Chain A
Amino acid sequence: MAQKLIPELLVEDNKFCPGCGHGIVNRVLAEVLEELGLADKAVGSLAVGCGCLMMDTFGTDWVQAPHGRAAAVAVGVKRVRPECCVFTYQGDGDSLAIGFSETMYAAIRNENITAIIVNNGIFGMTGGQMAPTSLPGQRTTTSPKGRDAALTGQPLNIINQMKNLPVGYLARGSVDTAKEINKVKKYIRTGIETQMKGGGYSMIEILSPCPTNWKMTLQNSLDHIRSTVRATYPLGEFVKDGERTDA
């Protein structure tokens, strides 16, 4: 057994709520960047939402984009500095509501960047409003009687939107168990390796609990992901090395 130390990239304690999955994703991403020797040449792009709280605690270079526009900013960085490891880190509201166009077009152009999208099914920072990813019937502060899919649409499955595009790598993980967290780490590693070998766009969506805004205990939040959320958002690798793995 080897030591398991806290990555040096985590320069300060994170600012997320108790039980929030962002902290886990932060640690896993930091481990991957350090293990691949990319900590010194990584540039992250984040925008607005709980994810942006990591700008002071996660020690890579950062550019903070307007809400939703992290992918466009990342594209600007990567196109002029192709030697850098350029990634976006966003929540589902940021990347898939206001930022849907920028997110999709980065994939459509098969931009050589890695997108990390943490999906907790709500807008967290603003207090738990409905997101494109909210499940039918899900109670949020803007769908107090539960999301009515007839009025607001079905939950947005971004991998279904992207998997027919000529992209490098698409995977969906979850941080609800240790086993799945280890898979998330593998997915992020594969995504970043895809970018660094010039393999095109990589995106890893990560299902994550938000006990605060779900108004659930952590235990119930984790059970909810396993029993319900995963049914709408299945886990696994969907595109690898530019090839569909589920076809």
Chain B
Amino acid sequence: MSYRLMKGNDALAEAAVRAGCRFFGGYPITPQSEILEYLSSRLPEVGGTFLQAESELSGINMVYGAAAAGFRAMTSSSGPGFSLLQEGISYIASAELPAVIVDVQRYGSGLGDIFQAQSDYHQATRGGGHGDYRMLVFAPSSVQESVDLMGLAFDKAEQYRNPCLILSDASIAQMMEPVKLPEMQEVDPDKPWAAKGKNGGDFKRITSTMYYIEDFDGYIKAKFDSMAAAEQRWENVEVEDADIVLVAYGISSRICKEAVAIARSRGIRLGLLRPITLWPFPTNAFKEVNSEVKAYLTVELSALPKLEDDVKIACEMKTPVKHFLGGANIPESSAIVEEAVSILNSREEVSWLKN
């Protein structure tokens, strides 16, 4: 199969179509608008429906309706728009329907700005809406991985009947890279649970499943526990002997990979732990790390540290966890190396460890 040069957003959109997505409802917002633009012409070519909604609120609820009817459905947004999706995502999770949501992260709270950033980590990984749910969160670090994870997200959404999130960022979404695209899939929408008229059978009520499940607390906990156990994905780079392990996802992880190469060429034992799923956070990845590791250093494009929390949980606070924040700027790989060196040389960290 040959490669095709594609922009991250376009590749996400094409991958969704090839994964069988046949409905998209969404609203323009930079830096994800190319997904709408691409699908507005692409979905009708395969008999699907593209609908530009009057708001993100409406878009996510159109997705709710199409998903309830059994079809693979998706919406995408960014930052402020992602906040508006949360109500609908909570309802979709509560009704146990499959759907895929894309958040192409931008910088800041409020209006923020359209720069690349990784500001939405907490909202993405904690279940940004109300109640008791989680989304499987996939964080691609390349255009190719955007394609690969999109197909996986639709499959997992259906397997668990739960919304899945692709957490991209303005860099990955706006860059162009050669990609290999998968074959076109046709997916049967006539699921036994789909709302399509009762056709002589019992009528179906698609709403919070808690109304109809005994011991719902136990049931829903078991559901998310099983996802947490089975769906951790990560990539480890030279962590077995590392004195410092960088932890980064998405665009940040690419800089970190370069930092590892630079450090290693200078004889500094630097490694990288790259979560591919952010929920479940790949705690198992930490078992592969050098047991004598001196510190973890999280690297993210954010004004406040967020990823740091999950790393502290994953290493059970037994190892110091430091953060390197890029804000809206992609850091130089050399700056990350320097930060790692300064941590290694820091006496403060040693005393912290003794406490």
Contact = CB atoms under 8 A, between A and B. Distances in A.
A74 B65 contact: yes
Interface residues of B, number: 40
Contacts of A81: 69, 196
Interface of A: 11, 39-43, 45, 55-56, 59-66, 69, 72-81, 84-85, 101-102, 105
A43 to B, nearest CB: 5
A85 B57 CA distance: 24
17 contacts: A39-B198, A45-B65, A55-B205, A61-B198, A61-B206, A62-B204, A62-B207, A63-B206, A63-B207, A72-B61, A72-B65, A76-B23, A77-B66, A79-B66, A80-B65, A80-B70, A84-B196
Interface stretch (B28-36, B48-56, B302-310): B48-56
B197 interface: yes
B71 A80 contact: yes
Interface string B285-307: 00000000000000000000000
Given A45-B65, A69-B57, 19 more contacts: A40-B198, A40-B199, A55-B207, A60-B197, A61-B205, A62-B205, A62-B207, A64-B205, A66-B61, A69-B64, A72-B57, A72-B64, A75-B62, A76-B23, A80-B65, A80-B66, A101-B58, A102-B61, A105-B54
B204 A84 contact: no
Given A62-B195, A66-B88, A80-B22, A73 B62 contact: yes
A62 B25 CA distance: 20
Contacts of B59: 72
B25 A77 contact: no
A102 B203 contact: no
A84 B95 CA distance: 21
Nearest to A56: B205
A121 B203 CA distance: 31
A62 B206 contact: yes
Contacts of B279: none
A101 B198 CA distance: 30
A39 B200 CA distance: 9
Given A65-B91, A76-B64, A77-B68, A84 B57 contact: no
Given A63-B68, A76-B66, A102-B58, A40 B197 contact: yes
Contact of A63 (B54, B57, B65, B189): B65
A66 B59 CA distance: 13
Contacts of A74: 65
Nearest to B57: A69
Given A65-B64, A66-B91, A69-B58, A76 B204 contact: no
A73 B189 contact: no
Interface string B80-106: 000000011001000100000000000
B195 A61 contact: yes
A32 to B, nearest CB: 15
Contact of B25 (A59, A61, A63, A76): A76
B170 interface: no
Given A42-B197, A76-B61, A101 B207 contact: no
Contacts of A56: 205
B207 A61 contact: no
B84 to A, nearest CB: 12
Most buried by B among A62, A75, A76: A76
A43 B95 contact: no
Interface string B104-118: 000000000000000
B281 to A, nearest CB: 28
B136 to A, nearest CB: 22
B149 interface: no
B88 A69 contact: yes
A79 B68 contact: no
Contacts of A78: 65
Nearest to A41: B197
Given A62-B204, A62-B207, A105 B58 contact: yes
A75 B206 contact: no
**Which of B57, B65, B71 has the most chain A CB within a 10 Å cutoff?**
B65
Nearest to B23: A80
Contact of A76 (B65, B95, B196): B65
A109 to B, nearest CB: 8
A64 B91 CA distance: 9
A76 B88 CA distance: 13
A22 B25 CA distance: 32
Contacts of B22: 80
B66 A59 contact: no
Contacts of B91: 65-66
Closest 3 CB pairs of A and B: A76-B65, A41-B197, A72-B61
A77 B51 CA distance: 12
A63 B195 contact: yes
Contacts of A80: 22-23, 49, 65-66, 69-71, 73, 189
